[in-house]
Structure 1
Amino acid sequence: MYSRIATKNVKKSFKDYTIYFLTLTLAVCIFYSFNSIESQKAFMEVSSTSMDYVEMLTSIISYVSVLVAVILGGLILYANNFLIKKRNKELGIYMTLGMGRGKISRILIYETIIVGIISLISGLFFGILASQGLSVLVSKLFEFEMSEYKFVISTAAIGKTVVYFGIMFFLVMIFNTYVISKYKIIDLLTVGRKTEDVKFKNPLIYLITFILCVGALGTAYKMVLDLGLNVLDIKFRISIILGVIGTALFFFSLAGFILYIVKRTKGIYFKGLNIFTIKQINSKVNTNFISMSVICLMLFITIGVLSTGFSFKNALESGLEESTPFDASAYLYVYEEDKVKSIEESMDNMGITFAADDKVAYYDEYITGEQISDIIPLDSSSSNIKIKAAYIKVSDFNEIMGLNNEGTVELAQDEVLITSNVSKLLPSIEKYMKENDTINLKNTSYKIKNKEVINLNLKNSYVKDNFLTIVINDEFCDAANLSTSIVNVNFKDNVNGKGEETFVKSIEDFKRNNDNYFDEAGFVITASREALYEENKGMTTTILFVGIYLGIVFLISSMAVLALQQLSEASDSLERYEAIRKIGASKKGINKTIFAQTLIYFSLPVILALVHSVVGIKVANDFVAMYNKPDIGGASMITAGIFVIVYIIYFYTTYTGYKNIVNSKIK
């Protein structure tokens, strides 16, 4: 009996459940898709190291899925609360007819089970389809080849999805039972007559708050643009806090500030139903300014991650060939208290030997304490780079060039060579060299022998990190401070990276098996070409994948909350719509004001999120540009496409639902 009532209720209220169904289906689809990656790896031809990164990715996705489950669980409870609130009068009638709270709770439990089963089935269906495309994306991002393509259904991912969402629906059942136990019949039957008073504070308060908002956001933007992506700087954290405060103040002040301005524009305020539309919008923004602030920040994160993630990955990976000019490098950062201050001595102490036909170059980097900006004027876009200039001996430079059969150079005592390959600094250095043929170092003028910047990495690294290295006579370096000792190697026998793998393994084995490693060899860092390729690819892909996962979840959650708030507002404002209908407003005019309200309410957090994103993307791109020029064109198009599709789906569904709720009550 109760199951039949529940089934009829779900059929009858299908329009009310549209947003709920849509959100649940998308949530299940995304959850399954990202958790099904592990089942695809069996069909990928990868090295053992690359497979380690795939396994790391699946492990991280599992942990992140717990956070995603919490977010989606909160969203489901929020949506369920809206549905219960909308059916208060119906539940009150059940009680009036003598149905006990326990029986009503049972009906709601059956309804939750029905909705849960339908959404799980539909979500898993679309998730299974989406996961096939996701597996192709994983193979492309990791640059794997699939030995064969098979349509894969992950039973493990299905099980995890059912368990996680089963727990969510169980919590919904408990929540519904608790809510019903607290209801009184009189409250349920009269809820439709209770209207929310639209109260506005003194306009001066909103004006002051709006000014504070502009000040907070302006300061935050300026600070982060000046600092760049320097997350360790306290000013960076202050800028983030100011940005959050400014966002909250924006939505708090927006309602009263706009009302204050529009009221003084009589031609707009008293035209048609504008006075009603504006007060409706202001009422809702004023009530939900905190949730709108959170939604705005979530959308900002989504736009930023999806727009810059692909460009960040592509920029780093495209520079790998230039940042790994040798089969392997090993370097030793030297400090005054260290016992070992030479990488050659470190190699000897570890028993690392090279074959006679291997090409090996030892060299040292020196610093004098002068920063790059002390030597070469930097433009405004790179003036925040606080890096010391490095120096190497011309004899060492010739050894490095000889590894790849490059020609040697000769320098007079008063001559130098300028080398750099960091994209952010190159324009300033090139400009200086074009306008000057000398450079001042430690109060001594030196002639710049090369007409163009020598663009190269002097050792293997994750990125192009030669900010500014000056090749100079040996005597200058002997008087400077040793900072790093490096060895570069090109192995004769390096088929499939065998030579560099053996080299790295020998050093790592010595580290593990010697308690006095630091005293005997110092802290040696290895950087083989193959390992850097795989580590870089694995790291960037993992970060990107997790970012996409969270970004899509944030986007769906944000749109769903906006939709539910609007539909809730429609239910709360029925008497107002009935009133304006009685005084002559047409249905066409009412539908027009519903469209305007929905559009503006959906657009406000999106617009501010886009403003935040312009600043955030610029800062992120400036950071990436230090190593390689990013291209966000393709990523931005993909982001815009995903964003627009989800936005339109939720906007249209919300507008249609809002209109149906209102039109069903007015004549």
Structure 2
Amino acid sequence: MTLKLALSGIRGRLRNLIVLLAGLVVSIAIFYMFQTMAWNTAFITHNAMINSIQLVYAMGSFLLAAVTLFYVIYAGGFLFSLRQREYGMYMTIGARRSRVRTVMLLEWLVIGGAAIVIGMALGCGLALLVSSLLANMLDTTFSGYRALYGPAVLFTVVFYVALLAVTALWSQLKLGRMRLLQLLRAGDSAERPARAGRGAFWGGLLGLGALLIGYIALTFMEQLREIGLLAATVMTPLGTYLLFMTWLPRLVRRAGRSDRRLAGIRAFTNGQLAFRVRDLSRMLATTALLVALGTGAIAGGIAFLNDAYLKARQSGQYDIVLENPDPQQLELLRAVTFEERHELRVKREDAVAWVARADLEAMLAHTPPVLEDGTVLEEALPGGQQAITWTSHPQWRQLLSGVLPASALGADEIRLADNSYFGAIGTAATTVWFGRSDDFLAYTDIWGELESGRTAYHWSKYDQYQDNLGLAGGTVFMGFFLGVAFLTMMASCLMFKILSGASTDARRYALLRKLGVRGERMRASIRRELGYLFLLPGAAGLLHVLVGMNLFAFILQQPYYRLWLPLLMFAVIYGLYYLVTVWMYNRLALPAPVSGDVPHTRQTGGGTRYPGGSMSRN
């Protein structure tokens, strides 16, 4: 009988519980995706571009676990608010409180168990899909990564079972403390939020100072180092919480008093917002910080990837160096637009590498070579057959050391020879073909094909590009998973925290309905109210991101590169959760007949006239 009651309760609220189930499934899938890396120490160590990557992932796992804990608690509170009055009805008709607790536990276990099974399957599929897509996009492989990873599966299942048990226990304790009348009249009692005293002003001022200290630490991280990291980690969250808890409610309340346009339904919306902001201030501050962490993680990964591209363009004197190129290689080179290209003949005689002077003269006559550091070669060509050393001719030695063939690398000296002397040397000549294209990254496929058949005798530009790209790809991979995890959890927490109070607001909207407010006006009020609740922490979080990217300024050349991409991802995820929240809130809070005007009313120029002559403006 108890199981039937639980299942019937689930069926009765199926459409609302599907959203709860979907939120839990996404939460489990994202959490598992992150744990596939957090537990795979070999993968994150091999693909890390920063030191102490294990500490970074330990902190990330802790933060994600904390956010997940709050999320599951809010989800449990949402389920309790949906069924609270029905639990009271069960006790009214004679059910013992212990039996009602069992019904509640069974409902939560059914939903939680289904979420774990579906979420783990979805998490494995998403991990495989995302890793494959990122590997193809970055043209690299994530060595050591496994989408189905045993320790990650075990930890995720144990963690969520424990969370569901804690949430069920918390709900049962809450049920035990509530009297029957409170259950039956859920949402009827008035809530009076505490008024802010004079300390709120000084608390907000302290929060503003803490936030400024955090921003200064982020901006001057290169100079402050460990002290700056500690200050930014402590002061930025502290300032955010203090400002949201002290000044934000006062600002919303004062805005409602000063704006004369706030009349009718607009006044109601502002009143609802002012009432909610104080209750949700901690949640809004947490959301702002998670927006910053999630968006910043994705932006940081993209910035590291761009840094690999910049280093590829700037590293090495020449894009390609070929030794005795064959006709097939020369055919591939015809598809490349070169800004500079040269041929150099080299012979090895005992301990001396002889370079044809005529080839170097032709090089100077065509285009002055650009060295690895970006400067143009300015040294005069050495005369006679004198040795080219790092002391006597450092620029020429730097140029030749990057293009000499394998046969000349072990030579003690590098000397120049005119055509007659060069031809008289009895060894075979090696022709080196090298050049610089107009855009190295535009021809990576050609470089890869040319390098595949080449015997590596020195570190080529393409080799360095592949190495940097592999490391950056791992960082992008980790940043993407961490960012999506934080953004998803953040939006889910805010959504269920808002929805948990929807049943309380239902009576207010029912009263508005009786006063003649049209359904469309009420829906617009809800969209506006929830829009502010989503907009405030979102804007604060994005401000944290814009300032916080300075953290990478002394590591990366362009930390703000393509910042619009993670901002777009944030907007999409945040916007989807906003739309789902509005849809769910409309279903839970608005009375059933929400379209059209109230029957038996007629519109006049001054408003809506009701029987008896009373007037009401919408």
- Is the shorter-chain TM-score for this pair beyond 0.5, marking a shared fold? yes
**Structure 2 CA distance for aligned equivalents of residues 405 and 237 of structure 1:** 48
Partner of 1:632: 561
For 1:232 and 1:99, locate their aligned partners in 2 and report how far apart those are by CA, in whole Å.
Answer: 63
The aligned residue for residue 264 of structure 1 is 258
Q: Secondary structure at the match of 2:553?
A: helix
Counterpart in the other structure of 1:593: 525
1:26 aligns with 26
Q: 2:92 aligns with which of 92, 96, 106?
A: 96
Residue in 2 aligned with 1:603? 535
1:109 to 101, 105, 108: 105
One-letter amino acid matched to 1:297: L
Q: Are the equivalent residues in 1 in contact too, given 2:21–2:111 (CA < 8 A)?
A: yes
Query: Among residues 537, 554, 559, which one is paired with 1:623 in the alignment?
Result: 554
**Cα distance, 1:193 vs. partner?**
1.8
- Displacement of 1:201 in angstroms is 3.5
Alignment partners' CA distance in 1, 2:547 and 2:222: 11
- Decide whether the 8 Å contact of 1:574 with 1:665 is kept in 2: no
Query: What corresponds to 2:131 in structure 1?
Result: 135
1:646 alignment partner, one of 573, 589, 604 = 573
Change (3 A) 1:230 1:280: farther
In structure 1, the residue matched to 2:274 is 282
Query: What is aligned with 2:167?
Result: 172
In 1: Cα distance, 2:91 partner to 2:109 partner: 22
Deviation at 1:539, TM superposition (A): 5.4
Q: Give the match for residue 583 of structure 2.
A: 656
Post-superposition offset of 1:249: 3.4
CA distance, structure 2, for counterparts of residue 623 and residue 556 of structure 1: 30
| Matches for 1:51-70 after TM superposition, within 5 Å | 53=46, 68-70=64-66
Cα distance in 2 for residues equivalent to 1:570 and 1:160: 34
Provide closer, same or farther for how the CA distance between residues 259 and 632 of structure 1 changes in structure 2, counting only shifts above 3 A. same
Q: Normalized against structure 2, the TM-score is what?
A: 0.64
Residue 584 of structure 1 aligns to a residue in which SS? coil
Match of 2:242 among 232, 243, 249: 249
Contact 1:207 1:253 in 2 (8 A): yes
Counterpart CA distance in 2 for 1:316 and 1:78 is 41
The two structures, once aligned, show a CA RMSD in angstroms of 4.4
Amino acid at match of 1:185: L
Q: Deviation per CA, 1:584-639, whole angstroms, max 9, x where unpaired? A: 3332222221111111111110011112222223x1463345xx345622x532x2
Q: Is the 8 A contact 2:71 2:489 kept in 1?
A: yes
Equivalent positions of 1:284-433 (< 5 A) are 284-316=276-308, 318-319=310-311, 396=391, 398=393, 402=397, 404-405=399-400
Contact preservation (8 Å) 2:10, 2:107: yes
Relative to structure 1, is the Cα distance of residues 599 and 60 closer, same or farther in structure 2, using a 3 angstrom cutoff? closer
Q: What residue is the counterpart of 1:192 in the other structure?
A: 187
Q: Which residue does 1:46 correspond to in 2? A: none
Per-residue CA deviations over 1:354-374 (Å, capped at 9, x if unaligned) read xx9799xxxxxxxxxxxxxxx
Residues 368-408 of structure 1 deviation map (CA, whole Å, 9 limit, x = unaligned): xxxxxxxxxxxxxxxxxxxxxxxxxx96585686254269x
Point out where structure 2 has 5 or more consecutive residues left out of the alignment.
319-349, 354-388, 403-453, 595-618
The residue that corresponds to 1:350 in the other structure is none
> Cα offset for 1:58?
11
- Going from structure 1 to structure 2, the CA distance change for 1:620 and 1:588 (only over 3 Å counts) comes to same
Post-superposition CA distance 1:165-211 (Å, at most 9, x none)? 33333333333344334443233223332121245436x76666656
Please state whether the residue corresponding to 1:192 is helix, strand or coil: coil
Write the deviation string for residues 439-458 of structure 1: whole angstroms up to 9, x where unpaired: xxxxxxxxxxxxxxxxxxxx
TM-score, length basis structure 1: 0.60
**Structure 2 counterpart of 1:179, one-letter code:** K
Tell me by how many angstroms 1:236 deviates.
5.9
Q: CA deviation at 1:263?
A: 1.0
Equivalent residue letter for 1:578: A
Structure 1 unaligned spans of 5+: 42-48, 327-355, 360-393, 408-493, 501-527
- Specify whether residues 53 and 538 from structure 1 end up closer, same or farther in structure 2 by C-alpha distance, changes over 3 A only: farther
2:122 maps to 126
Larger Rg: 2
Shift of 1:109: 2.4
Q: What is the identity, as a one-letter code, of the residue corresponding to 1:122?
A: I
Aligned residues of 2:29 and 2:124 also touching (Cα < 8 A): yes
Distance 1:153 1:236 in 2: 35
Aligned 8 A contact 1:15 1:657 in 2: no
Confirm or deny that 1:581 pairs with 2:513: yes
- Quick one: which amino acid aligns to residue 77 of structure 2? N
Equivalent residues in 2 for 1:456-495 (5 A)?
none
Q: Measure the CA separation in 1 of the matches of 2:54 and 2:205.
A: 47
* Residue in structure 1 matched with residue 486 of structure 2 by the alignment: 554
Distance in 2, matches of 1:37 and 1:243, equals 27
The structure-2 alpha-carbon separation of the partners of 1:173 and 1:212, relative to structure 1 and needing over 3 Å to count, comes to closer
1:607 maps to a residue whose letter is A
My pick for the range that moved more, 249-258 or 317-326, is 317-326
